[in-house]
Amino acid sequence: MHKKKNWMFAGSPKAGESMAILYSFVQTCRALKINPNEYLEHFKRLPSHPHKNLHELLPDQWKKVKD
């Protein structure tokens, strides 16, 4: 079965790149048995999160803190 690469048709190359990144996060969450919606909800704190600690928001690091 051939799956369409919907992210390629996001309206612009930049939008396609953004969607590919988002899909990567979602698939990583699924692989780590994390609810993607719950994980992405925490992105609201991204603007106030210290830049030097952005690695803490990656799915595997987030899961360690959550569990």
Angle formed at CA 10 by CA 7 and CA 15, multiple of 5 degrees: 95
Across the range 29-41, mean pLDDT stands at 94
pLDDT of residue 7: 54
CA distance 61 to 67: 10
Q: What is the DSSP letter of 58?
A: S
pLDDT tens string 4-28? 566 556 777 788 788 888 889 999 9
Chain-centroid distance, C-alpha 64: 16
The full set of domain ranges for the chain reads 6-66
For 62, what's the count of Cα atoms within 13 Å in the CB-facing half-sphere?
20
Query: What backbone phi and psi angles, to 5 degrees, belong to 12?
Result: -160, 160
pLDDT tens string 37-66? 999 998 888 889 898 988 888 999 988 887
pLDDT of residue 5: 62
* 1 pLDDT tier (thresholds 50, 70, 90): low
CA distance 59 to 35: 10
